[in-house]
Amino acid sequence: MDYDIIIVGAGILGLSSAYYLQKNNPNKRILIIEKEGGIAQGETAKAVGMFRNIFTSYTNRLLADTSINFYIHIQKEVMDINLKFDKYLWLVSKEQFERFSSIIESMITSKEIKILEREELRKIKGMNLDVESDEEAKIMGLKNIYKGLLGLKCGSLDQHLLARYYKEQFENLGGEIQFHTKVNRLIIAPKKKLGISKEPFVWQDSRVAGVLTNKGEMYADKIILATGALTNELLDPIGIDSHMKPKKRQVFQIQDSHLNELLNIEGFNDEGTIPFTILPKSGIYMRPVKGEKSFWIGCADDLGRSFSLDTTPEEDFYYYNIYPVLIKYFPQFTNLRVKNLWAGLYAYNTIDGMPYIFEKYGVIVVTGCSGSGLMKADAIGRIVDGLYRGEEFVRLYGNLNFRVSDIGVEKRNVDREEFLL
């Protein structure tokens, strides 16, 4: 056994986990193995790169808030990760506002959000607040914009730079990464080998002892899967439930000079753009990317979209499902075509929308972040380390204590997240 810990996956969660593991277990030999040729080239690369501390779940808010605080610390004290407070703008209907009134109230109190009244929203030129006067929009079930909720500690960062931060910290502590190493399956071995062929048998006490890769077998005291939406490919064959379903999510880039007025609005953020904006329907969101004079647009599709590993982007999806809604609120997008598009996979936890971090049969699994792993990666890395060390509580950034089992399987104790995008 050459390594104490093998982490599968050099995405943001694998890297942050690796860093805290190496930091708190300095005598352990830790190896990350990654199928791609570099870090953060899987789902991390496809993420929209936004962060927010606005969630309905208390635990989610906590995990994001402490992680964002840590990212701010990195940006200020350590290195540029291109962290910017673009802010989030939820455009909500009256019904939505009333439905979430108690949580909105608490976020106003804690100064996490600011309410924007309709008069203030009118400074977003060309935005149509009153879609219900449009017959077509009415038939489509679109609602007038009643208020805006401006998330203040929300913005964007460069996930590649953040990933590089964790990688460098990990390597500085002596951690190793091996690229182009794909895990084909997990290896199960009995804790006490009998030396009989066909081991392990059902009556033996067994555990996940290693990985079979394209470069051969590798064994470690502990295997950690930070394989996101691909986790079922490794766990299903050995009968461990990841509690996660993979689902395609697409991003469409629209680039046009008609969008300039949205990309040049003073008063919301330092960039002078409209914030990252979420429409009142279907979780349709638009991220302004001023440098490329474009918007990245996506939506929180649900029913009718399969759980699968398909990542083929579908241009038609934009025209049928997003465009008709988008142009009612933002007529600037009328007739604009998709310039570029890509699709990634959400590791979707359908039960409570929160991450799963648990150990079973000797393998530690971190998955199920449901599209908001990047903004919780720091907390998650610390929790993975705490789980490895068998700690009941782990210290998150800012000296917050978090009970490790709360985010596990058997003693899970989280409230359901309703703001999934």
Q: Which residues bind its own copies (CB under 8 A)?
A: 139-142, 188, 192, 194, 198, 200-207, 236-241, 243, 245, 247, 281-282, 299, 301-308, 320-322, 324-325, 350-351, 361, 409-410, 416
Residue 12 or residue 366: which is nearer to its own copies going by CB? 366
CB 329 within 8 A of CB 128: yes
Residue 111 or 198 having the CB closest to its own copies? 198
Distance of CA 72 to the CA centre of its chain: 18
Instruction: State which residue, 163 or 224, has the beta carbon closest to its own copies.
Output: 224
Per-position b or e across 188-197, b if 16+ CB within 10 A of its CB: bbbeeeeeee
DSSP string, 380-420: HHHHHHHHHTT-SEEEETTTEEEEGGGGSSTT---PPP---
Task: State the nearest-atom distance from the C-beta of 77 to its own copies, in Å.
Answer: 42
| Cβ at position 201, least distance to its own copies in Å | 5
Q: Are 234 and 223 in contact (CB under 8 A)?
A: no
Shortest reach from residue 222's CB to its own copies, in Å: 16
- What is the nearest approach in angstroms of its own copies to the Cβ of residue 96? 14
Tokens found for residue 81:
């990760």
- For residues 105 and 117, give the distance between their C-alpha atoms in angstroms, rounded to a whole number: 15
- Least distance (Å) between residue 88 CB and its own copies: 21
Q: How many CB atoms lie within 10 A of CB 204?
A: 15
Which CA distances in Å does 116 have to 92, 113, 119, 121? Answer: 10, 9, 8, 6
Which residues, 6+ apart, have CB-to-CB distance to 247 below 8 Å?
229, 305, 306, 307, 308, 345, 346, 348
- Comparing CB distances to its own copies, the nearer of 202 and 257 is 202
Nearer to its own copies, 64 or 142 (CB): 142
Query: Minimum CB separation from its own copies for residue 421, in Å?
Result: 13
User: Of 232 and 269, which CB lies nearer to its own copies in the complex structure?
Assistant: 232
Residue 216 in tokens = 């051969």
Closer residue to its own copies in complex, CB, 139/267: 139
CA 330 to chain centre: 27
Residue 390 C-beta: closest distance to its own copies, Å: 21
